Structure 1
């Protein structure tokens, strides 16, 4: 069933209003008409089944039929902190990691970041990244849209590490060391974390050139666990997806006892 995210204020007591590109998509792309049913979400966890009552190019109205249970969100809430990569790689990270189950994204600058922060382009980039997260969440039948934060400095990211139950610092120098793989770190975390409550996890991924030793030392001092993703060197966008998939697997998101 087609799914759309709208702002919470577009929910009425018994109706929802869909506007802008989503209304256009309903009418011109999906060719829907009054009487058709869709899923509508507020991006914060609420999902409803709704029946369309009217459609126009810029606005559509629908009656709420039923509140829907949502089961598309993991127990481990993973924020992906991605050092700014070249080109459109961050767009790929946001799209694919939203599909996998990321709860939020924090782009940041590190010592070896090739892409430099440009405040003049920030608003346009934020809008683009938010749109990609929204569309990926719809495609993956998520009940939330992962938030993409403003670009942070490395120092700002270090300060945020205290907010999380676990900080995984993906470091290639740990890739072949015994007991330092991501599976080892996560096994230890599972043994100590109360499985009945959500876990807030920060997955930190470096740029094309990787992290410096100095950054690894600072992350370790800030409470992060250095973890390798195997003996092979991964592209930065691949590392984010592999690390997040490992987290989903270890949290029993994919089944298992």
Structure 2
């Protein structure tokens, strides 16, 4: 069943009417060719979701009535932010798409010292719009109850400032894997509490420099390895999110 994210809380939508407008209206009417009495999921900003039945289609919106509420929780018990040093090509798009499917709450891109790509403000804005769209489509496809946010930063300093707002900060560092470090990820996942936030920092293709790692450690981060193998920049976040899901969802 098709899924759409509504930019209102459930209470506001109740008051104003359950409706789709804009791009979602176009998708429902012109792409999916939905008709009166068809059903779909509507997801609200407070992570509540319902099954709605179309009762009217006008030239501007699709109007629904509530049939039932979605009862199953689809979200990870902790809020996970993936911070990626800007990689080459479309790798960040892959991270956002698959990371959304795996449960990430937020994606942050930043210019690491070894990042090859250089995006000006115009390119960052265009890239950001595309990544938001990718996250939305992936959240709909994977039946999320939350649409992840995307932030593209212009400096590493901005990320260091953001790190202060998280309960836990991990630094995925390939040198830790080479040295045989095995415990920090397990330790963090054993103490994290439901509702807490985790920021995980990943380097681009060239990895993080020792100086960058030192800066993140000063900001409260802890170095961790993701198993004994060296993972690509676009693969490492998927390992991390899968490990979190296994530890906090499948073992409970």
| SS of equivalent to 2:107 | strand
1:207 aligns with 2:204: yes
Task: Identify unmatched segments of 5+ residues in structure 1.
Answer: none
In structure 2, the gaps of 5 or more residues are none
Cα deviations by residue, 1:210-242 (Å, 9 ceiling, x for unpaired): 111111111122211111123332221111211
Q: What is the number of equivalent residue pairs in this alignment?
A: 250
Aligned to 2:120: 118
Tell me the equivalent position of 1:153. 155
Aligned to 1:26: 28
Matched, 1:216 2:218: no
Q: Is the 8 A contact 2:185 2:225 kept in 1?
A: no
Instruction: From 130, 133, 149, give the equivalent of 1:131.
Output: 133
Q: CA RMSD in A?
A: 1.9
2:15 is paired with a residue of what secondary structure? coil
Question: How much has 1:13 moved relative to structure 2?
Answer: 2.3
State yes or no: 1:185 paired with 2:151.
no
TM-score where L is the length of structure 2: 0.91
The answer (yes or no) to whether the contact 1:47–1:68 under 8 Å persists in 2 is yes
Aligned twin of 2:49: 47
Q: The residue matched to 2:112 in structure 1 has which SS?
A: coil
1:58 to partner: Cα distance: 4.9
- CA 1:36–1:14 in 2, change beyond 3 Å: closer, same or farther? farther
Native 8 Å contact 2:189 2:244 kept in 1: no
CA distance in 1, matches of 2:45, 2:238: 22
Deviation string 1:115-157 (CA, Å, 9 cap, x unpaired) is 1131022322221111111000000110110010132411111
1:169-195 residue CA offsets vs partner (Å, 9 max, x unmatched):
0100011333x23xx2133224444x4
Give 2:5's aligned residue: 5
Return the alpha-carbon distance in structure 2 between the equivalents of residues 14 and 120 of structure 1: 36
The runs of at least 4 aligned residues of structure 1 exceeding 4 Å deviation read none
